[in-house]
Structure 1
Amino acid sequence: MSNHLICLEKHMFFAALLDRILVIPSPKFDYQYDRVIGIERINTCLGRTVVISFDQFKENVTKNNARIDRFICYFSSPQPCYVDEEHIKKLKGLGVSIGGKLEAPWSEDIKKPSKRSFQEVKEKFKSDDGVIAIGDVFYADMEQDWVMQPGGPIKHKCKTLIEPSRLISLTAQRFIQTFLGKNFVALHLRRHGFLKFCNAKSPSCFYPIPQAADCMTRIVEKANAPVIYLSTDAAESETGLLQSLVVVDGKVVPLVKRPPRNSAEKWDSLLYRHGIEDDSQV
């Protein structure tokens, strides 16, 4: 889900720069964002409609005019956008056609992204077409300090612009109330797929478990927290070793992970009742 959120935030930034409304993809084409994100809350925080669902988009166009007038690709090399046949079929199945060819407004290599300013984006991506699509923004290196600032790059009246849906937020509160209490450290330890990715860098960013344990121990000592919430895709062999190595003042600091579904526990009842407890993105 983290990659989806990065894409969503960047597309929101592009839409804001170009003074356009962002259409959330149909769940038949992409992930069902409204299951995990408060979409309407975004509009509330900004005080106007800036994000709409695909169904709302279809309602605002004539039956035969659900058309992407221009498809702009952020990168030109090695190819302008990666749009496979499967996604083309999905778009057609949703009644959406693509006008014209895929085009890039500049020479930009996805393997070596250039740093771009918002002025360049506004100039190169400006269009009089009614509906445009912009592809491959995930790797875009554009105003990183602005994009990554706390609260996001767009001015709004809320603490954060993108938040989990109400069901997930309430479930998280109940989980904290049940297992963690007020004082805890939350850590995301991502392992799956990172070995190859990190080893491509020099030095590697893939840390052995003992080194990760040392880092976590320092954080826990500084925070004076009695427990750690660990969100991870690591195997039990790794988390078991990690648990044995995170020790402060001679005491093992408990690593708490999301437990399997248990009908006797009520902290996740909202997810269960709404049928999203098994969703891997939740």
Structure 2
Amino acid sequence: MERVPSSSSSDDDEDRRTLVPQNETKPPRRRCALEVGSDLAARIGRAASSSSSSSSGGSGLWYSKRYLLLAICLPLVLILVFFSLDLGRLFRRVSIIPVGGIPAGGGADRMREAELRALYLLRNQQFELRNLWNRTLLSARSPSYTPYNSSVSVPLEKFRLAMLKQIKLNREIQEALLSSHRFENTRLDPLNNNVGFDPSVLEFNVCQKVDKPAERRTIEWKPKKNRYLLAICLSGQMSNHLICLEKHMFFAALLDRVLILPSHVVDYQYERVLDIDHINRCFGRNIVVSFEEFRKMSKKKVHVDEFICYMASPPCFLDEEHIKRLKSLGISLGKIEAAWSEDVKLKEQEKRVADDIRSKFSSDVEVLAVGDLFYADVEEEWVMQPGGPLSHKCNTVIQPSRLIMLTAQRFVQTFLGSKFIALHFRRHGFLKFW
């Protein structure tokens, strides 16, 4: 019987074939320069094994891991600190040291000295300008000063305006020079120490006086005897009525008639609102009368011989109530006619000239009623020129009554103080200027 070889002997033979001889060496394997993963792990393993054998317990491996963790976290911490802190503030006040032996503060000191020198000169200039300004104020308040003398007042006003501009420019330069020497929470005003000059003047523009032009277009208001123009103003409130009366004065001058103001039964009580005596003094004759004065002068029943409306729609803004009020005054009305078939609702009214007014409204009747002229567009440039279209000897023809003037002056002096010289009332569209 044949003997079967044992399994143990076959296993030994197989192990011998696979074992590497002791004195056989493997050639070194080439590796890529970037292949560091396996080599690093092998090195760490060898270091760990050697350190564990030398330190008896693995404490060297713990230190190696801590060093590795520190090397990874330290750059991250530095990056976070760089972006979280404003490091620019640390370098804002770093001065550059010039090369060549010049001291670091020499240029800054010279610039500061130049700025202070310029500031000193500007203060001297401001002192002289302030003295000139005060002299012009004294000359303007002197009795010999004539504000409407074109040969004196216009150059003086222009000189004062130019000087005020120089004072403002002086202040701006001082502010610019001082801006580099101020702290964050401080404010310096170079005008605070100036005695005798009001700094608030620099915050406002001086209103230059507008003189009457030497060759302005005017007409003489010379009414004919016993020829009257009755004003009819019913649109809007007091402001519209005053504008309407101004245009009635122009119409009365073109037609050579005396202007009759409306009665308080139909309109406002103008003799208590306007200074009628002042208007007559400006023209040197009685050219404006109240309705009550006219009724006393006529000594008979007032009859309107002709009634002409400037526009057809609406006809003089008259309604049944106003017609009843006119008749209650004893006024007998004739036929109401329209000069032009226009509507006040039009955005742009047709412009008229003086000849158009004379051709449409000229009549030889004693009493002519004309209304409503608020929307009348007649000789706008002529009417709106300084001083108005009429020849007179006053600065302002239409002004409030003396009672209103005194009341306004007392109110200003009592409640507003010395800095205010005028007051503007407005009640239901009522405008008063003085």
1:172 matched residue in structure 2: 408
CA gap 1:151/1:177 in 2 versus in 1, 3 angstroms:
farther
Runs ≥4 in structure 1, deviation > 4 angstroms?
181-186, 229-234
**Residue 10 of structure 1: which of 243, 247, 266 is its match?**
247
2:343 matched residue in structure 1: 109
Shift of residue 155, structure 1, vs aligned partner: 1.5
What SS does structure 2 have at the residue aligned with 1:98? coil
2:388 matched residue in structure 1: 152
Alignment of 1:128 onto 2:364 = yes
Superposed, 1:24-63 pairs within 5 Å as 24-63=261-300
1-structure distance, mates of 2:425, 2:259: 30
1-structure distance, mates of 2:427, 2:260: 31
For 1:93, give the aligned amino acid: S
Q: Is the 8 A contact 1:74 1:137 kept in 2?
A: yes
1-structure distance, mates of 2:267, 2:416: 34
Q: Is the 8 A contact 2:306 2:368 kept in 1?
A: yes
Structure 2, unpaired ranges of 5+ = 1-237
2:179 matched residue in structure 1: none
Shift of residue 185, structure 1, vs aligned partner: 8.9
Shift of residue 131, structure 1, vs aligned partner: 0.6
1-structure distance, mates of 2:424, 2:244: 25
2:153 matched residue in structure 1: none
2:75 matched residue in structure 1: none
2-structure distance, mates of 1:152, 1:179: 34
2-structure distance, mates of 1:4, 1:185: 26
**Residue 94 of structure 1: which of 317, 329, 336 is its match?**
329
Q: Is the 8 A contact 1:81 1:102 kept in 2?
A: no
Shift of residue 122, structure 1, vs aligned partner: 1.4
1-structure distance, mates of 2:267, 2:366: 22
For 1:23, give the aligned amino acid: I
Q: Is the 8 A contact 1:152 1:160 kept in 2?
A: no
For 2:293, give the aligned amino acid: Q
Structure index of larger Rg: 2
CA gap 1:172/1:68 in 2 versus in 1, 3 angstroms:
same
2-structure distance, mates of 1:123, 1:117: 10
Q: Is the 8 A contact 2:412 2:420 kept in 1?
A: no
What SS does structure 2 have at the residue aligned with 1:173? helix
CA gap 1:170/1:83 in 2 versus in 1, 3 angstroms:
same
1:242 matched residue in structure 2: none
For 1:168, give the aligned amino acid: I
2-structure distance, mates of 1:22, 1:39: 11
Shift of residue 93, structure 1, vs aligned partner: 0.9
Q: Is the 8 A contact 2:412 2:421 kept in 1?
A: no
CA gap 1:233/1:45 in 2 versus in 1, 3 angstroms:
closer
CA gap 1:11/1:75 in 2 versus in 1, 3 angstroms:
same
| Fraction of identical pairs, as percent | 59
Q: Is the 8 A contact 1:72 1:125 kept in 2?
A: yes
Shift of residue 23, structure 1, vs aligned partner: 0.6
